[in-house]
Amino acid sequence: MEKKMKKPCMGRQKIPIAKITNKSHLQVTFSKRRTGLFKKASELTTLCGVQIGIIVFLFSPANKAFSFGHPDVDSIIHRFLSSNPQLHSGANRLIEAHRNANIRELNMELTQVVNELELERKRGKVLDEMRKASRKQCWWEAPIDELGLYELHQLRMAMEDLKTS
Amino acid sequence: MEKKMKKPCMGRQKIPIAKITNKSHLQVTFSKRRTGLFKKASELTTLCGVQIGIIVFLFSPANKAFSFGHPDVDSIIHRFLSSNPQLHSGANRLIEAHRNANIRELNMELTQVVNELELERKRGKVLDEMRKASRKQCWWEAPIDELGLYELHQLRMAMEDLKTS
DNA sequence: CCGGCTATATATAATCT
DNA sequence: TAGATTATATATAGCCG
């Protein structure tokens, strides 16, 4: 009863980057992160003297659009649309063909491949760690509850590596 | 050379939010923060199921435009313009033109990532071989039920996370 | 120009008010 | 439903290779 009376607060917890199902959590998180995103954008604008436009569409609970812009969203959009009149040199028919493939599909494919890559990297990393550990001794042969703190730490680390993004 | 033999690293320092004058510092900061901004946007998109479009204009050293979008910048812009009838002045052609550029970038990125994935797979394969070669009865080969509940949970979560993110 | 590293500044998930 | 608090997760400034 000396130091750790009770836990005042869990503090920030790690959350998986996946759709938040709890409506109220989502609302709070959206609000906070949107603010944070705009703040980051604002800082980038000031620090680097760049112009930024951000548009955010929220579809639930109510459809609503938020935006941030320096100098303002409209001018950014206008500039953006005007800046790339055409990079469409006649060389790439493949690109033309892909247009029908829809960007969203490409994005999904890219995302999936990136995920696979991440998985492979982590798998390799964990295997590396295990291999390294196995040189010492086969501590994992013993029941979990008999493991020393160090070994538990190692195991934990391996797990963390596996799931850390 | 008495007190501070060496300084491993200054660590992150606080910087004033004002235009960075040093060109190379600015370049580095811009690159890092732009990446961070896009990552935050990506997370917000996933966490809250919203659509986001970001456009960043860098005027020095060279004029260049960066963008992030989910599903893609153009659709975000289009949606935004649709909600503001006044600004919708025959921009469709420009949007179309820019879409080509986007697809090309995506394709290049995809190709690159696929290549990286191949490399990682090979590495993983090698590690797998090593594991097989030296396997006795390491825990990851052993029956699942020998793992502690916590570790098992962590592993499960890691897998789920990797598959769904 | 990148990507990695370390120490620190910030952002923010949970909790509390 | 909205802020204030707190402990932790992340983002990054400065340095290197």
- The candidate with the shortest Cα–Cα distance to B140, out of A149, A134, A146, is A134
Helices A73-83 and B92-134 cross at an angle (nearest 10°) of 90
Helix axes A149-163, A103-136, angle to 10 degrees: 160
Sheet containing strand A64-70, edge to edge, reads: A64-70, A51-58, B51-58, B64-70
Measured between CA atoms, how close is A1 to chain B, in angstroms? 27
The pLDDT of A126-134, averaged and rounded, is 53
The model's confidence at residue A107, banded by pLDDT at 50, 70 and 90, is low
CA distances from B66 to A37, A50, B124 (A): 16, 11, 34
User: Who has greater pLDDT, B109 or A147?
Assistant: B109
Using omega within 30 degrees of 0 as the cis cutoff, is the peptide bond preceding A61 cis?
Answer: yes
Q: What is the pTM of this model?
A: 0.57
Strand D and A13 CB separated by under 7 Å: yes
| Cα separation values, B55 from A29, A75, A144, B77, B156, Å | 23, 11, 51, 10, 38
Task: For chain A, say whether B78 makes contact (Cβ under 8 Å).
Answer: no
Summarised one tens digit per residue, pLDDT across range B133-152 is 443 333 443 333 333 444 44
- pLDDT > 90? residue A134: no
Q: Give me the CA B155–C1' D11 separation in Å, rounded.
A: 26
Cα gap B40→A164, rounded to integer Å: 16
What integer best gives the mean pLDDT of chain A?
65
For residues A76 and A70, give the distance between their C-alpha atoms in angstroms, rounded to a whole number: 8
* Residues of A (105-164) whose Cβ lies below 8 Å from B: 106-107, 109-110, 113-124, 127-128, 130-131, 134, 138, 140-141, 143-145, 155-156, 159-160, 162-163
pLDDT band at A63; cut points 50, 70, 90: confident
| Alpha-carbon distance A9 to nearest alpha carbon in chain B (angstroms) | 22
Residue B38 has a CB neighbour count (10 Å cut-off) of 18
B20's tokens: 């960075």
Q: What is the DSSP string of A28-87?
A: HHHHHHHHHHHHHHHHHHHHHT-EEEEEEEE-SSS-EEEEEEES-HHHHHHHHHHH-S--
**Using the CA of A11, which nucleotide's C1' is the nearest one?**
D7
Instruction: Give yes or no for a contact between A106 and B99, defined as CB atoms under 8 angstroms apart.
Output: no
The nearest CA of chain A is from the CA of B40 a distance in Å of: 7
For the residues B118-124, what does the mean pLDDT come to? Answer: 58
Question: Which residues does chain A have within 8 Å of residue B102's beta carbon, measured at their own beta carbons?
Answer: 103
